[in-house]
Amino acid sequence: MNKYLFPIYAIIIGVVIAFITKKQKSIGTKLLLSFSGAFLLALTLFDLLPEVYHHLNAKQTGLFIMCGILLQIILEFFSKGAEHGHVHIHKDNTQFPWLLFLSLCLHSLLEGFPIHQHNDMVYGILIHKIPIAALISAFLLQSNYSKLQIIGFLVVFAIMTPLGTYVSNNTDLATGYLDIVNAIVIGIFLHISTTILFETGEGHKFNLSKLVAICLGVLIAYFI
């Protein structure tokens, strides 16, 4: 049951953080974002990547991973990088951000596919979604969108990952194309996590706190 509930918990925690901080991006959220990027990348390399390479041949796997990277680049053309913490919503705009909404929903749907009954990827998704949900919620709460639109946005966003998990665990996709979809998702995860990790800090200064957060993310993922 946790494989369905954890992604929803992440959105709820993110909304709570947005209410508490009352800011678009606090220092704590930045560090959590760095930790989540390292944690997701490490879990992808430790668990998901070897599993996919075990079921598909190497060149085919590499091809689908590249397709995932390209797909995420296309999605970010519409979302403007919201998947890794860059949320650009004009506060004075009252028109619902459909492109952002649809790209985030597709991303969330796909990231639910690698989650199985006994799979640590659910923890990676949980940690990844908390800071993203916090940043998205912060911008939505400061926008001129109606409360109904904001609630609808967050509710649909929250259920898309469990929906992807349900499809992968309860349909014929699991026997036919799941490894291919997982390879595509690996590409998405690689692009998002490395973008988070390699973004420089303000003034290109060395950030010890960020380095510690990244090391903790990798270390915890290794021992799970």
Sign of the CA dihedral with 100 first, then 105, 110, and 115 last: positive
Alpha-carbon distance 98 to 211, whole Å? 35
Pick from 154, 157, 182: which is nearest to 103 by CA?
157
SS3 state of residue 198: helix
Per-residue pLDDT of the chain (224 residues; tens, 9 = 90+): 678 899 999 999 999 988 887 655 566 777 888 899 999 999 999 989 998 998 888 899 999 999 999 999 999 888 777 776 666 666 666 678 888 889 999 999 999 999 986 678 899 999 989 988 988 888 888 888 888 988 999 999 999 999 999 998 888 766 678 899 999 999 999 999 998 888 755 544 557 888 899 999 999 999 87
Give this prediction's pTM.
0.88
Q: Give long-range contacts, CB 8 A cutoff, 24+ apart: 152-160.
A: 153/101, 154/11, 154/15, 156/101, 156/105, 157/11, 157/101, 157/104, 157/105, 157/108, 157/133, 158/7, 158/8, 158/11, 158/12, 159/8, 160/105, 160/108, 160/109, 160/112
The phi, psi pair for 153, rounded to 5°, reads: -55, -50
